[in-house]
Amino acid sequence: MQLEKLATIGLAIIIVIAISGYILADENIRDDIFNNLFGEEENGDKPIPSTGAVTYGDSVDVIYTGMFLNGTVFDSNIEEVAKEWGFYNESLPYEPAKVFVDPNYEFYPPEGYENYSNSYIPGFLEGLVGMEEGDVRNVTILPEDGYGIWNETMAEMFGMGSYPLESVIESEISENKTALLSSFPGIDLTEGAIFDYGEIAFEQKGVLNATIIEVTDENVTYKLIPEDGSSVMLPLFNWTIVFIVNNDTHFTMRSLIEAGHVFSIESFYGSMHFKVLSVNETHARIAMNLDAPEVRFIGQTLEFELRAVKVYKTSALLEE
């Protein structure tokens, strides 16, 4: 029995030596083993460490769940969680998010990692810093590092900070003929003809008519004819405007706005959210937010559970 054991051990040693010789002779296999042993991955001509804590410029595969402080889950890339909380979308892959850790938005993902993105709120990206592969972390994200707050300064930059409640409008308007027909196609351009101005301007029929009073080769002059005391809902802003006829040449549009009123406008750049903070006799004070996908995220402190599934130390590939 002892001789059989020795023979078995001897055979095992011979096999190990043979395999080792094959491995050492094969350059590709040898490099793969050395890279695994010494913690580097190849990317082009420059090796990157394959272990270590996440830092700025790294790429991470992340499983996450986000919730409000009351425990309501609003987002997750875990399919079961999405179904449980009612926001499952069959068009989404429900797999680890490919995150490029760059909360200051200073870099682009390096070559070979272009499918990793930093298009996450800063607090999410900061929450990954210091994590190692396999780590799970719960992070609390304040509004300033999340979807922001109601910002008065930003509203002022957009000319919406102090919104006048009343605007005096001149009844007669002269407009380029081509431009007018572009806005109101098919209208009758003869003197005395009436067209529905409000159908285009306010997206509502019969609220404001206009009469053609003069037509030249290049321009058309028309007169707006509001009914005194009539009202219309202002599109996008979603508040009521009342028409007050001053005289034959001017009328006033008065906005009926209440403090706390919130409205959103979808633009090429995403959602623009507005909130009326206060109203006095002449103006409404308005703040806005461009960061939140929905109003419910504005000013909210968020909780995220983050799991670093895989860490790529791509910070080593960034140009210094």
User: Domain with 136 in it: what CATH number?
Assistant: 3.10.50.40
Residue 99: inside a domain = yes
CB–CB of 146/197 below 8 Å?
A: no
Task: For 128-151, write each residue's pLDDT tens digit.
Answer: 999 999 999 999 999 999 999 999
Tell me the three state secondary structure of residue 320: coil
Reported as half-sphere exposure (CB side, CA atoms, 13 A), residue 29 has a value of: 8
d(CA 1, CA 6): 9
d(CA 122, CA 102): 8
The pLDDT of residue 31 = 47
Residue 195: inside a domain = no
Pairing of strands 209-215, 166-170: unpaired
Domain that holds residue 89: 59-144+312-317
Residue 222: inside a domain = no
pTM assigned to the model: 0.76
The pLDDT of residue 50 = 64
Across the range 21-41, mean pLDDT stands at 45
Across the range 47-66, mean pLDDT stands at 90
pLDDT at 41 over 80: no
Number of structural domains (the chain) is 1
pLDDT at 191 over 60: yes
Residue 83: inside a domain = yes
pLDDT at 179 over 60: yes
pLDDT at 17 over 90: no
CB–CB of 77/97 below 8 Å?
A: yes
Task: For 212-268, write each residue's pLDDT tens digit.
Answer: 999 999 999 999 999 999 999 999 999 999 999 999 999 999 999 999 999 999 988
Across the range 10-20, mean pLDDT stands at 38
Task: For 253-280, write each residue's pLDDT tens digit.
Answer: 999 999 999 999 998 878 999 999 999 9
Q: Which of 120, 123, 116 is nearest to 310 (CA)?
A: 116
The pLDDT of residue 47 = 63
Residue 97: inside a domain = yes
Confidence of residue 51 (pLDDT cuts 50, 70, 90): confident
Residue 26: inside a domain = no
What percentage of the chain has pLDDT greater than the value 70?
84
Centroid of chain to Cα 4: 70
Across the range 9-31, mean pLDDT stands at 41
Residue 184: inside a domain = no
